[in-house]
Amino acid sequence: MGAAPTAPVFTPSAPLRLTDMTREELTQLMIAWGEKPYRAQQAWSWVYARLAGTVEEMTDLSKSFRARLAEVIAPLRPPVISHRVSTDGTEKWLLDCGDGVAAETVFIPDEERGTVCVSSQAGCSLACPFCRTGTLPLRRNLTTAEIVEQVLFVRATMAARGVRVTNVVLMGMGEPLYNLAAVTRAVRIIMDNTGLAIGCRKLTLSTSGVVNKMEEAGLNLNVNLAISLHSVRDAVRDQLVPINRKFNLAALRRAALAWPMRGRDRITWEYVLLDGVNDSLQDARELVNWLKGIPSKVNLLAFNPWPGAPYAPTPREQILRFQEVVANAGLVTIIRDSRGADVGAACGQLAGTAGELGLFNPLHATEA
Ligand code: SAH
Ligand code: SF4
């Protein structure tokens, strides 16, 4: 007789952090601690639904259990290095991840939605020349906990003001598909319907087109997909989105067609309009042709300038003409205007300040 199959033993690696765990893993941890499994749901609800910031608030849990829990939840809120509020209501926080690393999180309110824009990496290894994040070196991937805690932090901050967080976009600093394992776990935690409960239609992941990770992402993530396209000519896209030199437009198109749509959605194509680079009406017509056969929505992004950016925004009238060509072809298209640009919180402006992110070479700093 063979040995009876045993349940997988949860063997967590230290240091444990509750926000790194899925609900199932937390349940296993409770079992490993000799606690009743329902303790997991109690703790989970306190953290993600009732938005407790400390164990002291979890008043219906015994003191001894709270003391144990404190080891895995302290601290629940990342320290804020800086916080800026735009005149349009957009807010940006630079959150301290420890080890000299920081990541930016943005909240964008509008009439019916409250959207958190989450970072997946500190910096980015891809250097798209129109994106300020691309000017930063990649410091490191963020952990699952660091991604989850961005959403938790904004949800709790907003809840205290009676403001709702309804949507999450993985469109902050970094390329989420280069941190796919942590992002996948974070998405599961953020979507858990007994916790933060952000539904799959309310969660969007944006990629620059990391084609070799898209299949795995499609299998594991039930989220809306946005792809940063910016040109349908390889020669232009090679410049704007350098990963195109590795995965060209034909490969990207195949990967997009293979993305599991689950009978509902469209792929969102992001297209930043850069004056004289990719914004002619011919570009618009080629875009429409390229998208034929893919269920698509086109987000035209007004370029958000930053100091030293080598591009200029397309004039408004030209954006509208470009949009008309796309719309006349029967495609859903919106113009995404910059939000929070005055505090550097708009798309592609996230960089902290060099000083805040510890990016100044100390030698240069003392020379200056
Ligand atoms: N790395 C991922 C997600 C983060 S960037 C990606 O590239 O898709 C989020 C979006 O902001 C992308 O569509 C990106 O192309 C866009 N973006 C970057 N810099 C911008 C800028 N200066 N103005 C407007 N949009 C920008
Ligand atoms: Fe990285 Fe996206 Fe910025 Fe490109 S656009 S540098 S992939 S964050």
pLDDT of residue 361: 29
Rounded Cα–Cα distance for residues 209 and 228 (Å):
7
For residue 74, the tally of other CB atoms under 10 A from its CB is: 11
Beta strands 332-336; 121-122: pairing state? unpaired
Rounded Cα–Cα distance for residues 155 and 118 (Å):
12
Three-state DSSP state, 318: helix
Q: Which of 191, 111, 107, 193 is nearest to 154 (CA)?
A: 107
Q: Which residue puts its alpha carbon closest to atom 4 of ligand 2?
A: 128
pLDDT digit string, tens, across residues 126-181? 999 999 888 888 999 999 999 999 999 999 999 999 999 999 999 999 999 999 99
**Residue 105 phi, psi (nearest 5):** -130, 140
**Distance linking the first and last C-alpha atoms of the chain:** 76
Extract the tokens encoding 353. Answer: 């300040």
Residues of the chain with pLDDT under 50: 1-10, 12-13, 353-355, 357-368
Q: Are 29 and 12 in contact (CB under 8 A)?
A: yes
- Ligand 1 atom closest to Cα of 175? 1
123 lines ligand 2 (CB under 6 A): no
Residue of 168, 173, 206 best suited for mutating to test ligand 1, as the one with most atoms within 8 Å of CB: 206
**CA trace torsion 158, 81, 19, 215 (10° rounding):** 90
pTM: 0.91
To which residue do tokens 């490993």 refer? 32
- Annotated active-site positions, please? 104, 347
pLDDT of residue 236: 98
Q: How far is the CA of 195 from the centre of ligand 1 (A)?
A: 29
Rounded Cα–Cα distance for residues 293 and 311 (Å):
31
pLDDT digit string, tens, across residues 334-358? 999 877 777 777 777 766 644 454 4
- Ligand 1 atom closest to Cα of 349? 22
Extract the tokens encoding 100. Answer: 């000299």
Proximal ligand: closest to the CA of 344: 1
Q: How far is the CA of 178 from the centre of ligand 2 (A)?
A: 11
The DSSP annotation for 252-316 comes to HHHHHHHS--TTT--EEEEEEEBTTTS-SHHHHHHHHHHHTTS-EEEEEEEP---TT-S--BPPH
CA 302 to chain centre: 19
206 lines ligand 2 (CB under 6 A): no
pLDDT of residue 16: 85
134 lines ligand 2 (CB under 6 A): yes
126 lines ligand 2 (CB under 6 A): yes
Beta strands 121-122; 114-117: pairing state? unpaired
Task: Fill in the amino acid letter for 261.
Answer: M
